[in-house]
Structure 1
Amino acid sequence: MCIFRRIHSILSVFLVAGVLQYATSFYLPGLAPVSFCEKNTEKENEVPDCKSTIEVFVNRLDSVESVLPYEYTAFDLCSNDEEKRPSENLGQVLFGERIEPSPYKFEFKKKEECKHVCTKEYDTNRAGDKTLLEFLKKGMLLNYQHHWIVDNMPVTWCYDVEDGQKFCNPGFPIGCYVTESGRPKDACVVNSEFNERDTFYIFNHVDITIYYHVVVENEAAGSRLVAAKMEPKSYKHKDGPDCTGAPMDLSNKFSGELKVMYTYSVQFLEDQNIRWASRWDYILESMPHTNIQWFSIMNSLVIVLFLSGMVAMIMLRTLHKDIARYNQIDSVEDAQEEFGWKLVHGDVFRPPRKGMLLSVFLGSGTQILIMTFVTLFFACLGFLSPANRGALMTCAVVLWVLLGTPAGFVAARFYKSFGGEKWKTNVLLTAFLCPGVVFADFFVMNLILWGEGSSAAMPFGTLVAILALWFCISVPLTFLGAYFGFKKSAIEHPVRTNQIPRQIPEQSFYTKPFPGIIMGGILPFGCIFIQLFFILNSIWSHQMYYMFGFLFLVFIILVITCSEATILLCYFHLCAEDYHWQWRSFLTSGFTAIYFSVYAVHYFFSKLQISGLASTILYFGYTMIMALIFFLFTGTIGFFACFWFVTKIYSVVKVD
């Protein structure tokens, strides 16, 4: 894979995002509708861009019982090696998506019945065939799912669930398994004929229904696809395609020769009620969490806003009284009788211990904070919707690379204000410490994926391309930001720092560092708890996440909550004459990442059905990356909030 071609595809997301297509209506870049017409008709001649052949693309196969996705060809299914696979962006590669052309091709409005696709033959006496058959059994046992794509929309399997609702799954299983005790697992419950003990049933036939509506634009008629639904079935074809026989069973103890014939049936139905722009709605609205999510999110927002209002009111009223009282002091004797946060004004801006590490964390956290804000903003505008595959991750990575300058500037600025002089070490750590830890973890996870033959394993060329982006773009931008940060004069504090540190009195339990840090992370975690559940579901249970508007709102509330909770605890510590607020403010809100890690462990054991050592290691390895990013993100918010608060109160109060 050409490195420069990969870099070009990564950066192209911004070029695409800046292009507006002028037509009778506005569509997101790269997601314009495609018109279809019947083959060999006059309509096709009237519409230049009207297609007659509908291509089906296949994506990776995944399972809720395993973290390891596999390419479509890994299970020896019907493949199309003649056509070239479509290009993938960085986000798709990072998520392990492998979109390939398939031999399933339909002619628009042409009905097909039990159409033969391919036949796979196995002989258990041959080692290669036996290995392929065992891997196919493993896929059915772990409930691996197909993911087909028609006209850039998923082919869904819709079935009834509890309470009379219908769930549309953007995937369907390879097959299913009936245990030795006769209990059908997973999709085997849909057919009463699946009743043989210790037997696999292969879904080797699909009934596909494609819905379309007719549109007329510029006096030219064409049709647009608005839905693609299917139903998997199992048939034991004999001499030729026969979709009326018994199911295609495969005993777990089978030996000998086996033929598996794959077929399909397709029909087209007109539906003028579904608009092309809203053709994904029936998938998103059918998800089982949709109904409960509205109430849960609104309930969470009300609680968080109420708590944030109380914290703000307490802070404003308390500080107002303190500032008014301190400003009324006229004599030195009155000042000596005072106590609280004013007495530590000569030490509050004393450089913290390990100021180098804190400044590096602040630089990396600033980079992540800006990246998250801009990414969610674009997602709210619809540019990073599920229809635009891989765009979310691509946008996040490209933004992170381009935001090296703010990271270097913030790290250098605060390190200089802390009195640091090792500027070379500071800029190198900012450029390599946190990104290096993330990359090392990611590389180890990639080695495991390589060893397991998973499609999520990044190709070597892509790894080199990512390193090129890091070293050739992010690192120079970080150096540039650090240059401007060190060139500027040090941050001017409103009060002078005493030469001799003030002795800190004995602290009560709740003002000691560790209890305060533990308490500080509870409120921010409570604000993201509900959204965190659905985000983890989208990552590990392969559910679509699309409510970016709510996520952006929760992001804003998280920033406010982290800021207010950290400021409140910082005020209590200063009143207790403890002036070590820098690291404490960072760790107070950053401790939310510890709660996130604990919840991720609980989610793994209570919600997931993941089995296997490799999948377990991958889950916790990727969780460590997310926890580190979240730690830097929330910790930076808390520090900036406290820095503003401390600077503000000591600048408006008479302290000399």
Structure 2
Amino acid sequence: MMANRSHLGFHLWICAFLLLSIHGLSFYLPGVAPQDFFKGDKLRVKVNKLASTKTQLPYSYYSIPYCRPNKIVDSAENLGEVLRGDRIENSPYEFQMRVPEMCNVVCRIVLDDKTTKEFKEKIDDEYRVNMILDNLPLVVPMTRLEKDSPIIYQHGFFVGRKIQYAGTKEEKYFINNHLTFTVKYHKDLQTDSARIVGFEVNAFSVKHQYDGDWTGKNRLTTCDAHAKRTVTSSDPPQEVENKKEVIFTYDVDFQESDIKWASRWDTYLLMADDQVHWFSIVNSLMIVLFLSGMVAMIIYIGFKKPALEDPVKTNKIPRQIPEQAWYMSSAFSILIGGILPFGAVFIELFFILTSIWLQQFYYIFGFLFIVFVILIVTCAEITIVLCYFQLCSEDYLWWWRSYLTSGSSALYLFLYTIFYFFTKLNITKPVSGILYFGYMLIASYAFFVLTGTIGFYACFWFTRLIYSSVKID
């Protein structure tokens, strides 16, 4: 009877496991599942933070007097969006799926001293406006000079420009108040539904004109859907000055695309210089092979020699370390030991810094993983080689020295971030500089702990290996 109950209980556990497995197949991550849109379905554009590569200080979209919906609602954000400092909110930009629209008026504002100053500050600091549609960020297509080169994309559009206009020597501020959206979609021929695979924009500065007094329903003469009059870059721009009116408008165009929903990020994440990554990896592999040969030779020669034998018993008093040559000093060997590990990663480090501080996409984690493996091997081997030379010089104090040898690569990393700051970034505000160096100091310390730990454990394994064959009576 007890056996039958046990047998029945076992079967119940199996059934429960299978039911859980079937349920697990339906699991998906929020915001990742594809969404089908039919013709006429409402599409709502969300706005994100204003970002600048000059200040590195994000602002909310509504921190400047852009057009607002009746009620501003914050969207739920995932952990990655929170860590990036995103501020996702609703917007008055709404349109229907696969229904082109032309010259829709969003709102009209009249600038005063305060709003004029706010817009000019954001234009001076080169702030970009970020928007989102169906979890895809808004991008500006950038055509490259080389022939047959693929189009690359940049995050968001500029708030405005400070340029000379109409032959004047004085630079003036102009705001981008007209947006031409392009929504790319992949159509399902069986259901007639479509999935969004691209969200692009071209931003223009246009001084809109209309007849009579403003009522909110005026027909603009600068762009008119009835007359098929569209905004072009040759239209007079909208200047940012006190008591000037600014009318915000937008167009929407829909383009069918062969790109499937699963591949919609591929064009966003296109890396134009993957040859540089491969060149860096090949160079690093050459260094790794050279160090591997040295380590193999050291271990081989060490095992070929007969085991060391002490003529007398080991003295409990620590042996005096003989005077070392200048090139075997701790400071010199530690500084030398950090060069090769840093050399293995500095090319990839450039692209990582660019993605963080210049608001560019980074999605080449395959390259990054290869470089990380090379870094581990390089740290281990350079520490073993220098530790071997240290022991040959009768210096047995290798513990902290092995940690600092590979960990010193963090010093070169921090020096490189200083070089990057002055050569690649246009940060002018002290607060932004403190923010940059604070983050880079934390990253360098984390890199020091990582590489130092790798070097210490490699040297620890090496010394245990070579002394395990030594017989001491």
**What is the aligned partner in structure 1 of residue 245 from structure 2?**
259
Do residues 204 (structure 1) and 193 (structure 2) align? no
Matches of 1:19 and 1:595 in 2, distance apart?
Answer: 52
**What is the aligned partner in structure 2 of residue 589 from structure 1?**
406
Do residues 554 (structure 1) and 371 (structure 2) align? yes
Q: How does 1:304-343 map to 2 (within 5 A)?
A: 304-327=284-307
User: Alignment partner for residue 168 of structure 1, among 153, 161, 168?
Assistant: 153
Residues 432-482 of structure 1 deviation map (CA, whole Å, 9 limit, x = unaligned): xxxxxxxxxxxxxxxxxxxxxxxxxxxxxxxxxxxxxxxxxxxxxxxxxxx
Matches of 2:76 and 2:383 in 1, distance apart?
Answer: 46
Do residues 282 (structure 1) and 283 (structure 2) align? no
Distance 1:235 1:19, change over 3 A: farther
User: Alignment partner for residue 132 of structure 2, among 149, 155, 176?
Assistant: 149
Instruction: Tell me if the contact between 1:326 and 1:654 (Cα under 8 Å) persists in the aligned partners.
Output: no
Instruction: Tell me if the contact between 1:225 and 1:276 (Cα under 8 Å) persists in the aligned partners.
Output: yes
User: Alignment partner for residue 642 of structure 1, among 444, 459, 463?
Assistant: 459
List alignment gaps of at least 5 residues for structure 1.
1-17, 40-51, 124-129, 183-191, 337-342, 347-497
Matches of 2:310 and 2:378 in 1, distance apart?
Answer: 38
Matches of 2:360 and 2:379 in 1, distance apart?
Answer: 29
Normalising by structure 2, report the TM-score.
Answer: 0.86
**What is the aligned partner in structure 1 of residue 195 from structure 2?**
224
Matches of 1:167 and 1:612 in 2, distance apart?
Answer: 30
User: Alignment partner for residue 80 of structure 1, among 69, 75, 78?
Assistant: 69
User: Over the residues paired in the alignment, what is the CA RMSD in angstroms?
Assistant: 2.4
SS of residue paired to 1:585 = helix
SS of residue paired to 2:45 = strand
**What is the aligned partner in structure 2 of residue 406 from structure 1?**
none
Matches of 1:529 and 1:535 in 2, distance apart?
Answer: 10
SS of residue paired to 2:105 = strand
Distance 1:593 1:159, change over 3 A: same
List alignment gaps of at least 5 residues for structure 2.
1-20, 211-217, 224-230
Distance 1:332 1:558, change over 3 A: closer
**What is the aligned partner in structure 2 of residue 126 from structure 1?**
none
Distance 1:115 1:332, change over 3 A: closer
Identity %: 40
User: Alignment partner for residue 208 of structure 2, among 237, 253, 259?
Assistant: 237
Matches of 1:590 and 1:619 in 2, distance apart?
Answer: 22
Matches of 2:167 and 2:32 in 1, distance apart?
Answer: 41
Instruction: Tell me if the contact between 2:310 and 2:472 (Cα under 8 Å) persists in the aligned partners.
Output: no
Normalising by structure 1, report the TM-score.
Answer: 0.63
Instruction: Tell me if the contact between 1:597 and 1:627 (Cα under 8 Å) persists in the aligned partners.
Output: yes
Paired positions, count:
433
Distance 1:27 1:550, change over 3 A: farther
Do residues 578 (structure 1) and 402 (structure 2) align? no
**What is the aligned partner in structure 1 of residue 44 from structure 2?**
55
**What is the aligned partner in structure 2 of residue 411 from structure 1?**
none
User: Alignment partner for residue 95 of structure 2, among 106, 122, 139?
Assistant: 106
Shift in Å, 1:242:
4.1
Matches of 2:93 and 2:396 in 1, distance apart?
Answer: 69
Matches of 1:211 and 1:319 in 2, distance apart?
Answer: 60
Residues 321-359 of structure 1 deviation map (CA, whole Å, 9 limit, x = unaligned): 2333232x6x755xx8xxxxxx9xx7xxxxxxxxxxxxx
Of structures 1 and 2, the one with the larger relative CO (CA 8 A, separation 6+) is 1
Instruction: Tell me if the contact between 2:302 and 2:466 (Cα under 8 Å) persists in the aligned partners.
Output: no
User: Alignment partner for residue 131 of structure 1, among 89, 114, 122?
Assistant: 114
Moved more, 74-83 or 92-101: 74-83
Matches of 2:262 and 2:86 in 1, distance apart?
Answer: 24
Matches of 1:76 and 1:20 in 2, distance apart?
Answer: 48
Matches of 1:21 and 1:81 in 2, distance apart?
Answer: 41
Shift in Å, 1:81:
5.3
SS of residue paired to 2:193 = strand
Instruction: Tell me if the contact between 1:235 and 1:242 (Cα under 8 Å) persists in the aligned partners.
Output: no
Distance 1:608 1:248, change over 3 A: same
Matches of 2:412 and 2:23 in 1, distance apart?
Answer: 43
Shift in Å, 1:194:
9.0
Instruction: Tell me if the contact between 1:201 and 1:234 (Cα under 8 Å) persists in the aligned partners.
Output: yes
Distance 1:508 1:104, change over 3 A: same
- Aligned AA (1:499): K
Instruction: Tell me if the contact between 1:209 and 1:267 (Cα under 8 Å) persists in the aligned partners.
Output: yes
**What is the aligned partner in structure 1 of residue 430 from structure 2?**
613
Distance 1:81 1:506, change over 3 A: farther
Instruction: Tell me if the contact between 2:380 and 2:458 (Cα under 8 Å) persists in the aligned partners.
Output: yes
Distance 1:247 1:598, change over 3 A: same
Distance 1:55 1:89, change over 3 A: same
Residues 5-32 of structure 1 deviation map (CA, whole Å, 9 limit, x = unaligned): xxxxxxxxxxxxx999747xx9766411
SS of residue paired to 2:203 = strand
**What is the aligned partner in structure 2 of residue 444 from structure 1?**
none
SS of residue paired to 1:652 = coil
Matches of 1:161 and 1:197 in 2, distance apart?
Answer: 30
Matches of 1:19 and 1:628 in 2, distance apart?
Answer: 46
Distance 1:242 1:503, change over 3 A: farther
Distance 1:29 1:313, change over 3 A: farther
Instruction: Tell me if the contact between 2:178 and 2:206 (Cα under 8 Å) persists in the aligned partners.
Output: yes
Matches of 1:22 and 1:629 in 2, distance apart?
Answer: 38
Matches of 1:570 and 1:563 in 2, distance apart?
Answer: 10
Q: How does 1:513-552 map to 2 (within 5 A)?
A: 513-552=330-369
Q: Which has the higher helix share?
A: 1
Distance 1:266 1:509, change over 3 A: same
Matches of 2:310 and 2:383 in 1, distance apart?
Answer: 32
SS of residue paired to 1:559 = helix
SS of residue paired to 1:577 = coil
Distance 1:167 1:20, change over 3 A: farther
Shift in Å, 1:196:
7.1
